[in-house]
Amino acid sequence: MAKTILITGASSGIGASTAKLFLSRGWNVGLIARREDKLAIIANDHGNSLCVKCDVCQENQVKNAFQLMVDHFGAVDVLFNNAGIFTPQARIDQIDINDWQKSIDVNLTGMFLAAREAFRHMTKTGGRIINNGSISAHTPREGSAPYTSTKHAITGLTKTIALDGRDLNICCGQIDIGNAHTEMVANLSHANGVVETMAVSDAAEAVWNMAQLPLSTNILTMTIMANKMPFVGRG
């Protein structure tokens, strides 16, 4: 019987690439995002897909999306908790409170709501939650206080879920991705000069590797990055 993965933020970037990979390899894939038209293009009429318009910041929409997935596929085996935004870069004294709040709402509250709902559905059968962290959970860029703060928070959320899920056969891990070639990173490249990137499909493959593991094994943290990005060492 095919397994089912639910992917948040599946309309573009890493989420879209991951959805295409899992669909091509026979998994049932639930794609959720705010842009339903984009989801339909990515799913491309695959019979093993279900697209649901959902704002991860809205509790009732998240609950509804998960229930639709369970009703349609029977279960959610894996959640790729991927939805996130990067607000305009600025020094902390120049950051607008609205940009700060948007980051908290999507990157932290949205991930909490999706993880909580996945956990609830996995309590009887077990499952795996993969949170999309970031290199910024370890080493930030300048001018990224909102984004970096949320990604540090995701590390704490991941570890707590992993502890809460131990006795229930629910695994939780975090993938920290550095400079996959997405639209968001491309925008950073224009603003900051050349930014070394890797293929977004490589990030999707890493998610695949985490999702394939038996529930007796967990990758708590994985870092995958463009080899030439200045993350390790003094540069």
Q: Check pLDDT > 90 for residue 196.
A: no
Q: What is the CATH number of domain 4-224?
A: 3.40.50.720
Averaged over 152-164, what is the pLDDT? 98
Q: Which residue has the tokens 């629910």?
A: 170
With left for phi above 0 and alpha for psi between -120 and 50, is residue 143 left, alpha or beta? left
Q: Which of 80, 108, 147, 200 is catalytic?
A: 147
Percent of the chain at pLDDT exceeding 70: 94
pLDDT at 170: 98
Give ∠ CA 38-25-76 in degrees, rounded to 5. 70
Residue 186 has pLDDT above 70, yes or no: no
Task: Using DSSP, state whether 101 is helix, strand or coil.
Answer: helix
CA atoms within 13 A on the CB side of 50: 20
Q: Is residue 127 flagged as an active site residue?
A: no
The mean pLDDT of 184-206, rounded to a whole number, is: 76
Please report, for the chain, the start and end positions of each structural domain, with discontinuous segments joined by +. 4-224
pLDDT digits (tens, 9 = 90+) for 13-54: 999 999 999 999 999 999 999 999 999 999 998 999 999 999
